[in-house]
A and B are shown apart, each in its own frame.
Chain A
């Protein structure tokens, strides 16, 4: 089965779906939505089959396909996936149908074209899958940039207040980062043997100076995308203005391209430079954890608040990557996946609350649990997952990141652990101001704010809640897939785990 062209199919299928949906008549919104949903569910089915066909103990890159594209530069449509890409692809395939279902009425409410909205969603899915599935550096770059376009329109045309400003900022900022990467991509081709093939390029050697410059080109693009402090200011604007579904995809998946890129490109292609710059990466990530958490506490808009929490979470992923230990890096990858589930859920639930109230301002809520107890319960659950409570899957990843970091850098791990106290602060204060306390009299007057979770919304949140809980207690299926890829990546960098400092231990006590 591994010869089946899963990756190209996964990349192309949603785009075809997007074209189909876009061509449907505007006056049949229900049909449009059903086809879009059905299409994305079919894509999910393919992704599930692919996961089943992935052999965790097999070769690093699987499902490889390669078709010529621009022979003059040896640019090829090469797709291949390792365990890290696999979990991200699964996450996309899972989130998109849920987001489509969650965004059922978003387009009507913004009085814009329904077919275009769902077509954009499917285009976005196609480009996001492409970026994770690409194994040709040029192809990766193309997807990296093209991915911006559907998101730009989703924010700019269907977003809330200040959507134009947010969309432009998002687009330009990412584009600037991408241009630095483009320069590095070209440099890589020139110095790396006139090829873009990832599996060939990782064997290339560069002089120290060159390697560092190329690293920086990629790293800057990824640090903006992730985003790391201090390149983060576009995210709260974009996340605040985007429709909730698009925001869930933006933060849940698209931003992961940044951290994925560091793992897939920076570390294997430029191992020495990665080690050289690791303290910088770690410092930015660490600042992000504390800084963004404090900013999240200070927000008065729900969507901006969740965006800031994500920046803090990306900080955890960042230190996990640059600690170069098995636990930390595995934790970081798992974090990318779990964060997609947890923050995806949080954004979707926030979207449901905002749609009811007609405002994302925290001050417009208060005591909402009185009117929408079930929705408030889901919101609370998403908050708990977001602060990485044990029993939810983010705990596993956060624990792994911290314990793995601690073995090599105690100071960083200890400071990052303070992040978990701040996380409790921003989540609980958000919950206190929205669903607890004296009910806001304005809620009484808004009819919609008194409707509890609908069946459609329940269908959206249930799979996410179930996965967060199951993987919170039994993360092994995902860990097994991630582990080999992480080990291979770390051996590219030449890193190995430190031995316990007290020496070997005895199972049974000596006499």
Chain B
């Protein structure tokens, strides 16, 4: 396998010139968030403008830094702002790293983030909580930037939890809805399960290497035993699975759609949920050193991409189909970064391309909902192409990009992953490749279903929908820009990203083309499209029809929720109830029993005792004061 990256040393340099201010990327949205949240209603009138402007400013700065970085020889710039936790041998800095990998993420987060912020100005126009929304949104951007810009694992973790907080706040943004409150809590707790694994991985790094700095960790991986490296890799992977909605921690992500649609687009599609991919890519020296850890990553990726596809085929809620599609596409990214070597870059290309087209698809879904009284059931749409032509066109391009129709971006980003999967050694390569291939057929099927049922075929609207309409310009312009990205980005990224990332991952040998797999992929995709077209172009029943066991299972998220409930929630509930009983009757009963026994054992005596202690307490206070006063008098006199 690829061992080239192992031998190369990581050495960070200090930034100079304009780049020495790259901490501003985080500071600007953070300050904006603080202003929006602290000023309260006083900022209601202009809050959203500040929110948009701060992310726009960060994007412009991100471009400036990106251009400056591309002119440098040493592209890994580390900046320590101040010492965070200096205790004994533990030295954690508030320190940042700007390198090709983080630079790319900065552009994705601020660029796509800016477009979604603009869109949200329109989408949230009539919501009384719009300022609060932008406060949380800015907080998210700041935390996400810290996540990708930290130069050590603790900073990464701080950003990691920060985006978790923002995600929670935005999922339960309409907190008076019980379903939103529940979904937010579920997301937070499932993420914390992952975080616990992640943070234990950090502890293990400190206990073995005495450091949590990227450069010091990566340069000393060879000193660790094979078991330790695998353990660190798997612990980090638990965190990655939590944040990225990968098996077995995938159940929270579709529920996260309870938040406003721009949130789904930015956080639960384009950026935050890809943090797990970032973590694995950033920690590539650790994963490169452990075949076991990498194998687990690819297996989780392949399994999750199939889970996402299967469930996506059976859902009727437009946002949930897209959410399961996100789960599935991140599965592709995990598969890629787990394969390692040249596939690291492929995973990241897919991540960037996905950021564009999935954000566009979600915003398109939001635009549809905007015109349809906030309905989300695709069985109740139909024939909307005539009423929302711009949304139809942009969503259509995003859809074609996602299923990987050449020459749109998904083709350039996904097909090479499938090829790489087949190149994996042994029988596992065949399994992975076939899973990825099958996945692209299923993706084509469920996305065609979604697109056709929404925009084509007969109208199946509910009675309250009278005049569906196109969204205002402030929403459609971001849609158009994202659609342009979905069309153009793929080829551009595929040619430039591998070179750009060479300083991070080292020189990689690329697999050649494999026309057989490419042809098969296109064939399977077209098959999926065709099948869905045949089944759904005439519309569908407005209500769910009874279905076979497979469809029922898929509609129930393959029983993952039921499993969690049966194995964790219910026993947990009984356990806490039993413990409350034990504590009140058992332990406290023992204490009270002992007290009662000493006091004579009767309720009447206890009442007598009460009076006794009150006066006893008073006499202690009086006595103590008296003694102190007397002694003072004696000693002073």
Listed in ascending order, the chain A residues whose CB lies under 8 Å from chain B are 67-70, 142, 145-146, 148-150, 152-153, 156, 164, 168-169, 171-173, 230, 232-234, 291, 294-295, 297-299, 325-327, 330-331, 367, 369-370, 374, 384, 389-391, 395-396, 399-400, 402-404, 406-407, 410, 413-414, 417-418, 420-421, 424-425, 428-429, 432, 435-439, 473-476, 479, 483, 497-503, 505-510
Contact = CB atoms under 8 A, between A and B. Distances in A.
Contact of A420 (B192, B577, B618): B192
B614 interface: yes
B216 A146 contact: no
Given A390-B158, A417-B196, A438-B178, A69 B583 contact: no
A327 B85 CA distance: 9
Contacts of A399: 85, 154, 199
B211 A145 contact: no
Contact of B575 (A70, A233, A234, A294): A294
Contacts of B587: 230, 232-233
Contact of B588 (A233, A500, A502): A233
Given A399-B85, A508-B11, A69 B635 contact: yes
Interface in B176-196: 176-178, 180-182, 184-185, 188-189, 192-193, 195-196
B484 interface: no
Contact of B579 (A291, A327, A417): A291
B620 A145 contact: yes
Contacts of B181: 432, 436-437
B635 A390 contact: no
A265 B172 CA distance: 48
Contacts of A435: 175
B595 interface: yes
Contact of A424 (B40, B192, B228, B613): B192
Nearest to A151: B617
Contact of A505 (B82, B196, B211): B211
A414 B620 CA distance: 45
Nearest to A425: B189
Nearest to A406: B203
7 contacts: A230-B587, A326-B90, A389-B165, A390-B161, A400-B85, A424-B188, A436-B180
Nearest to A67: B635
B281 to A, nearest CB: 20
B591 A499 contact: no
A421 B196 contact: yes
B94 interface: yes
B86 A148 contact: no
B313 to A, nearest CB: 32
A232 B587 CA distance: 9
A212 B485 CA distance: 72
Which one of B88, B207, B224, B588 has the greatest number of beta carbons of chain A within 10 Å?
B88
B214 interface: no
B42 interface: no
Contacts of A396: 84-85
A169 B610 CA distance: 10
A297 B192 CA distance: 16
Q: Mostly helix, strand, loop or mixed at chain A's interface?
A: helix
Contacts of B176: 367, 369-370, 436-439
A295 B580 contact: yes
B162 interface: yes
B624 interface: yes
Top 4 nearest A-B pairs (CB, nearest first) are: A509-B9, A326-B88, A500-B210, A298-B576
Which one of B202, B208, B617 has the greatest number of beta carbons of chain A within 10 Å?
B617
Which one of B184, B583, B620 has the greatest number of beta carbons of chain A within 10 Å?
B583
B206 interface: yes
B200 interface: yes
B85 A148 contact: no
A156 B617 CA distance: 11
Nearest to B196: A417
B207 A406 contact: yes
A118 B580 CA distance: 35
Contact of B223 (A232, A299, A503, A508): A503
Given A230-B587, A233-B587, A502-B223, 8 more contacts: A152-B614, A298-B577, A326-B87, A369-B176, A399-B154, A418-B196, A437-B178, A475-B85
Nearest to A511: B9
A338 B62 CA distance: 36
Nearest to A293: B576
A12 B209 CA distance: 50
Given A168-B609, A508-B219, A325 B88 contact: yes
B210 A499 contact: yes
B438 interface: no
Given A295-B579, A406-B204, A406-B206, A436 B85 contact: no
Contacts of A438: 176, 178
B226 interface: no
Contacts of A413: 200, 203
B89 interface: yes
A428 B196 contact: no
Nearest to A438: B178
B199 A168 contact: no
B591 A233 contact: yes
Nearest to B197: A417
Contacts of B203: 402-403, 406-407, 413, 417
B84 A407 contact: no
B207 A407 contact: yes
